[in-house]
């Protein structure tokens, strides 16, 4: 098989299935694609009842890929939105690669971007096959058949839905390179199609991991180490085994696992364990001591970007300097980590919100000593992730596999992390220190800019280490380099620090802190130079920064920008590009006592072609709320013995409804290829709030969260 795709024909209870596997741009880039395996997995299923089900290769965790990818297919099929359905693809990285990664996985706000052509081609191919089948049956030329809103029709009067030809279409060859619509003909892309999952998520019927109950299943909770890097020295399970419902206790590499007939018994059993921990290799520093070590590490920072005259700062009329400090942050998805495994006769089947199938599936196979094809992962909806389920080391997959293995018998097991496990369990946004310096000449022009960053690497030591270049992890400092501003001579550097505290990408990754450091420091510098925050930024933008300029001008327009303060309120602005999407925000802030009260946020976003405008708006609203939570309240801190000081939502405070500002979103029209929106709403919010707060109170904000102002 060269470029020709394979077709599949299946009978299902719903009728006939037209399933397509198309050659991917990735496979083409690698030369001739390999023969695709004989498997029913593919992207589109047309039911006899006219429903079109799109098999979604990306994890739906709220950011909308079910709706987005289905829109792409529906557009090219000329389907009616009401006939569209979505279903998760299982772990299978032959069929379901993320074309941006070359492996199956969701992250980096890539779902729409990497699927844009692939899913449209799938839709266009399916449409062509349906048309050909209809042409044959009706005895008319295919060119005379039109398709609109899910109906095939011929001027001679024949008309039918897709279902009538699903079976016949499946018999036809898949067109290898079907033509795609010109964007001017789009009906559904850029339209107002509703999400496909709202109803099931409003009546309790949407199925998540925790809702899976297998026959004879035991629920498992694990006592994890109280300090990062600690291990079990010894344990006594007598008390736990006395708890009614507890079936067994096992030591696994992650800690001590308690298996019980119900969740409450498992939790009670764990409480009754007595464990002595070996903390000789554990992190015993407090988070403030770790920050001091970071300040020392800056002296060793490696240059990641440098340009212009090295002596620029030395020759400046005035040099401004500031340090910015950022705490560890927990993702705290509303559904804590969980997973279900069933091991039976040499096969393992799993159910969970799996974000990196290409890492998790081999992890399970290796742990259990099974061949890859004996491991099936059913990908379920995830109750949020924000990066938490995107594990470079597959630690959740490893833990559930260890649980099954340690049981020493076939059976089904459900692992639940409680909220305390979640908040104390690591995999945080790295604690980070930024040191910035800028030089101004006697006219107030910026002639030099230095930014040194210190934090842990997310990728080092995981399967993703291969993506690091020359020991550099761009996710640690992305956004501090490649600025849209002409700030004279530049020197950007990074110091990698190490700790047993595991770290992970947290919604917008490096941009969570780099956008703050850059946009807050720049705002201070502009103020010093007597410039308006919006005008001053526009003046500094380079000719290549056109899309930054576009969102900044737009947001100033919709907010009616008039400067830093007006009628007892203050306004702050920030702009950032992350994952290819440009976002500018202006916030309105009142003095809420010791903390800012954010009353309104204006947000302009340029994400290329806007596939689902309402999903984009929702992601901007959600990103703003998520970022505001962190800016105001969130910090994971370690005490003098390396113990996490937070345990639940009473001390890891999240934004509540009365703190949510009004949000006004403008989406810039664009014909550029679409980019993601799950993360890019986050970065500009906190710096905009800090800039407004400084305007309101005169107080510069040099560390997050704001709640630290209270202590």
Partner 1 sequence: MIHLTVNGREMSLDVDPDTPLLWVLRDELRLTGTKFGCGVAQCGACTVMLDGMPRRSCVTPVGMIDNASVTTIEGMEGPEISAVQAAWAASDVPQCGWCQSGQVMSATALLRQIPKPTDEEIDHAMGGNLCRCATYVRIRQAIHDAARTLEG
Checking DSSP bridges between strand 347-352 and strand 375-379, what pairing results, if any?
parallel
> Residue 86 or 440: which CB sits closer to ligand FES?
86
Distance in angstroms (rounded) separating the CA atoms of residues 603 and 667: 8
Question: Which of 62, 90, 353, 474 is in the footprint of ligand FES by CB under 6 A?
Answer: 62
Give the distance from CA 430 to its chain's centroid: 16
**Binding-residue total with ligand FES (CB under 6 A):** 3
Contact between 622 and partner 1 per CB under 8 A:
yes
Binding pattern for the stretch 320-359 against partner 1, x by CB under 8 A and - elsewhere: ------------xxxxx-----------------------
- 614: its two tokens: 């309402």
Q: Smallest gap, in angstroms, from Cβ of residue 667 to ligand FES?
A: 22
Q: Smallest gap, in angstroms, from Cβ of residue 333 to ligand FES?
A: 8
> Residue 453 or 628: which CB sits closer to ligand FES?
628
Q: Smallest gap, in angstroms, from Cβ of residue 620 to partner 1?
A: 10
Nearest of 594, 581, 512, 514 to residue 551 by alpha carbon: 581
> Residue 195 or 270: which CB sits closer to ligand FES?
195
> Residue 210 or 230: which CB sits closer to ligand FES?
210
CA angle (430 as vertex; 650, 478 as ends), nearest 5? 130
Residue whose pair of structure tokens reads 């009473």 in the numeric block: 650
Distance in angstroms (rounded) separating the CA atoms of residues 72 and 22: 15
Sign of the CA dihedral with 99 first, then 546, 476, and 299 last: positive
- Coil, helix or strand at residue 162: helix
With CB under 8 A as the contact rule, which of the stretches 4-12, 200-208, 541-549, 700-708 interacts with partner 1? 200-208
Q: What is the largest CA-CA distance in the chain?
A: 83
Among partner 1, ligand FES, none, partner that 462 touches (CB below 5 to 8 angstroms by kind): none
Question: Which of 176, 198, 562, 699 is in the footprint of partner 1 by CB under 8 A?
Answer: 198
**By the 8 A CB rule, do 548 and 575 touch?**
yes
Among ligand FES, partner 1, none, partner that 195 touches (CB below 5 to 8 angstroms by kind): partner 1
List Cβ neighbours of 696 (8 Å cut-off, separation of 6 or more).
565, 569, 570, 589, 590, 591, 596
Q: Which residue is nearest to ligand FES (CB)?
A: 334
Distance in angstroms (rounded) separating the CA atoms of residues 538 and 550: 10
Name the percent of the chain in helix, strand, coil, to the closest 5.
30, 25, 40
Q: Got the DSSP string for 189-212?
A: TTS-PPPSSTTTTTTT-S-BGGG-
Among ligand FES, partner 1, none, partner that 64 touches (CB below 5 to 8 angstroms by kind): partner 1
Among ligand FES, partner 1, none, partner that 12 touches (CB below 5 to 8 angstroms by kind): none
Q: Smallest gap, in angstroms, from Cβ of residue 654 to ligand FES?
A: 10
Binding pattern for the stretch 455-494 against partner 1, x by CB under 8 A and - elsewhere: ----------------------------------------
Q: Got the DSSP string for 579-623?
A: TTEEEEEEEEEEEETTEEEEEEEEEEEE-SS-S-HHHHHHHHHHH
Question: Which of 105, 150, 161, 384 is in the footprint of ligand FES by CB under 6 A?
Answer: 384
Among partner 1, ligand FES, none, partner that 244 touches (CB below 5 to 8 angstroms by kind): partner 1
Residue whose pair of structure tokens reads 């992350």 in the numeric block: 578
Q: Smallest gap, in angstroms, from Cβ of residue 438 to partner 1?
A: 34
Checking DSSP bridges between strand 581-592 and strand 595-606, what pairing results, if any?
antiparallel
Contact between 57 and partner 1 per CB under 8 A:
no
Among ligand FES, partner 1, none, partner that 203 touches (CB below 5 to 8 angstroms by kind): partner 1
> Residue 286 or 647: which CB sits closer to ligand FES?
647
**Binding-residue total with partner 1 (CB under 8 A):** 63
> Residue 8 or 331: which CB sits closer to ligand FES?
331
Among partner 1, ligand FES, none, partner that 650 touches (CB below 5 to 8 angstroms by kind): partner 1
Binders of ligand FES among 194-213, rule CB under 6 A?
A: none
Contact between 65 and ligand FES per CB under 6 A:
no
C-alpha distances in Å from residue 3, one per residue of 123, 177, 180, 225, 230: 17, 9, 18, 52, 53
Contact between 596 and partner 1 per CB under 8 A:
no
Nearest of 468, 207, 475 to residue 353 by alpha carbon: 207
- 709: its two tokens: 């102002």
- Coil, helix or strand at residue 317: coil
> Residue 149 or 334: which CB sits closer to ligand FES?
334
Question: Which of 4, 213, 289, 557 is in the footprint of partner 1 by CB under 8 A?
Answer: 213
CA angle (322 as vertex; 577, 524 as ends), nearest 5? 65
Checking DSSP bridges between strand 569-578 and strand 565-566, what pairing results, if any?
antiparallel
Contact between 334 and ligand FES per CB under 6 A:
yes
Cis amide prior to 164 (ω within 30 degrees):
no
Q: Smallest gap, in angstroms, from Cβ of residue 251 to partner 1?
A: 25
Nearest of 45, 37, 30, 53 to residue 5 by alpha carbon: 37
Among partner 1, ligand FES, none, partner that 656 touches (CB below 5 to 8 angstroms by kind): partner 1
User: Which element (helix H / strand E) includes 293?
Assistant: helix 287-297
> Residue 182 or 650: which CB sits closer to partner 1?
650
> Residue 190 or 308: which CB sits closer to partner 1?
190
Q: Smallest gap, in angstroms, from Cβ of residue 203 to ligand FES?
A: 14
Residue whose pair of structure tokens reads 């804590």 in the numeric block: 336
With CB under 8 A as the contact rule, which of the stretches 80-88, 143-151, 171-179, 654-662 interacts with partner 1? 654-662
Instruction: Look at phi and psi of residue 359 and say left if phi exceeds 0, alpha if psi is from -120 to 50, else beta.
Output: alpha
Binding pattern for the stretch 365-404 against partner 1, x by CB under 8 A and - elsewhere: ----------------xxxxxx------------------
Binding pattern for the stretch 4-33 against partner 1, x by CB under 8 A and - elsewhere: ------------------------------
With CB under 8 A as the contact rule, which of the stretches 55-63, 70-78, 536-544, 666-674 interacts with partner 1? 55-63
Phi first, then psi, for residue 656 (nearest 5°) are -115, 170
- Cβ–Cβ contacts within 10 Å for residue 30, how many? 11
Contact between 657 and partner 1 per CB under 8 A:
yes
Q: Smallest gap, in angstroms, from Cβ of residue 408 to ligand FES?
A: 33
- 538: its two tokens: 């526009």
Among ligand FES, partner 1, none, partner that 620 touches (CB below 5 to 8 angstroms by kind): none
With CB under 8 A as the contact rule, which of the stretches 31-39, 97-105, 131-139, 643-651 interacts with partner 1? 643-651
Contact between 32 and ligand FES per CB under 6 A:
no
- Cα-based torsion angle of the residue sequence 241, 244, 250, 251 in order, rounded to the nearest 10 degrees: -70
| Contacting residues toward partner 1, per CB under 8 A | 61-64, 194-195, 197-208, 210-211, 213, 219, 244-245, 262-264, 332-336, 381-386, 416, 418-419, 614-615, 618, 621-626, 628-629, 648-650, 654-658, 660, 662-663
| Contacting residues toward ligand FES, per CB under 6 A | 62, 334, 384
């Amino acid at each position: 098989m060269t470029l020709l795709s394979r077709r599949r024909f299946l009978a299902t209870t719903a009728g006939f299935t037209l399933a397509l596997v198309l050659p991917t741009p990735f496979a083409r880039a690698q030369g001739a694609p390999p023969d695709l395996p004989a498997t029913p997995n593919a992207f589109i299923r047309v039911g006899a009842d006219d429903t079109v089900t799109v098999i979604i290769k990306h994890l739906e965790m709220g950011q909308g890929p079910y709706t987005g990818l289905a829109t792409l297919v529906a557009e090219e099929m000329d389907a009616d939105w009401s006939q569209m359905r979505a279903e998760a693809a299982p772990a299978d990285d032959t069929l379901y690669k993320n074309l941006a990664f070359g492996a199956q996985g969701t992250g980096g706000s890539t779902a729409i971007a990497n699927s844009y052509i692939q899913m449209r081609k799938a839709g266009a191919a399916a449409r062509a096959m349906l048309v050909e089948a209809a042409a044959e049956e009706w005895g008319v030329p295919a060119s005379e058949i039109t398709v609109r809103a899910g109906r095939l029709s011929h001027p001679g009067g024949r008309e039918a839905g897709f279902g009538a030809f699903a079976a016949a279409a499946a018999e036809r060859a898949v067109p290898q390179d079907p033509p795609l619509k010109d964007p001017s003909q789009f009906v559904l892309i850029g339209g107002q199609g509703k999400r496909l999952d709202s109803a099931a998520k409003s009546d309790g019927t949407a199925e998540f991991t925790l809702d899976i109950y297998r026959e004879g299943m035991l629920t498992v909770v694990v006592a994890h180490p109280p300090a990062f890097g600690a291990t079990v020295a010894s344990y006594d399970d007598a008390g736990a085994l006395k708890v009614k419902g507890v079936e067994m206790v096992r030591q696994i590499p992650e800690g001590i696992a308690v298996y019980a007939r119900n969740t409450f018994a498992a939790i009670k059993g764990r409480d009754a364990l007595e464990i002595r921990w070996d903390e000789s290799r554990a992190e015993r520093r407090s988070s403030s001591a770790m920050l001091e070590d970071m300040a020392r590490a800056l002296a060793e920072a490696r240059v990641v970007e440098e340009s212009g005259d090295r002596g620029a700062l030395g020759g400046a009329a005035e040099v401004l300097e500031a340090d910015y400090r950022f705490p560890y942050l927990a993702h705290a998805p509303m559904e804590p980590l969980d997973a279900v495994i069933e091991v039976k006769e040499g096969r393992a089947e799993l159910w969970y919100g799996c974000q990196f199938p290409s890492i998790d599936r081999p992890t399970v196979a290796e742990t259990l000593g099974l061949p890859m094809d004996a491991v099936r992962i059913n990908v379920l909806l995830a109750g949020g992730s924000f990066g938490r389920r995107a594990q470079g080391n597959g630690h959740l997959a490893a833990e559930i596999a260890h649980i099954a293995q340690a049981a020493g018998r076939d059976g089904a097991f459900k692992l639940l992390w409680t909220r305390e496990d979640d908040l104390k369990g690591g995999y945080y946004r790295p604690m980070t220190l930024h040191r910035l310096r800028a030089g101004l000449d006697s006219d107030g022009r910026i002639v030099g800019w230095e930014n040194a960053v210190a934090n842990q690497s997310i990728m080092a030591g995981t399967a993703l280490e291969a993506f690091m270049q020359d020991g550099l992890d761009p996710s640690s400092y992305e956004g501090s380099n490649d600025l849209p501003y002409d700030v004279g001579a530049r020197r950007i550097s990074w110091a990698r620090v190490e700790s047993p505290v595991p770290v992970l990408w947290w919604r917008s990754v490096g941009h969570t802190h780099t956008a703050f450091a850059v946009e807050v420091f720049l705002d201070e510098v502009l103020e010093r130079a007597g410039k308006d925050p919006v005008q001053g930024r526009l003046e500094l933008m380079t000719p290549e920064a056109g899309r930054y300029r576009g969102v900044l001008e737009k947001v100033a327009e919709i907010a009616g920008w008039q400067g830093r303060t007006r009628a007892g309120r203050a306004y702050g602005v920030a702009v950032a590009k992350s994952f290819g999407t440009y976002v500018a925000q202006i916030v309105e802030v009142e003095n809420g006592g010791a903390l800012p009260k954010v009353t309104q946020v204006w947000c302009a976003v340029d994400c290329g072609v806007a596939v689902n405008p309402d999903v984009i708006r929702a992601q901007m609203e959600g990103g703003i709320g998520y970022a505001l939570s962190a800016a105001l309240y969130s910090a994971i801190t370690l005490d003098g013995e390396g113990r996490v000081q937070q345990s639940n939502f009473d001390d890891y405070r999240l934004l509540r409804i009365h703190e949510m500002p009004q949000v006004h979103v403008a989406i810039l029209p664009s014909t550029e290829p679409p980019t993601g929106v799950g993360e890019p709403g986050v970065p500009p919010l906190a710096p905009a709030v800090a800039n407004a707060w400084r305007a309101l109170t005169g107080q510069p904000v040099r560390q997050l969260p704001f709640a630290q102002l209270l202590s």
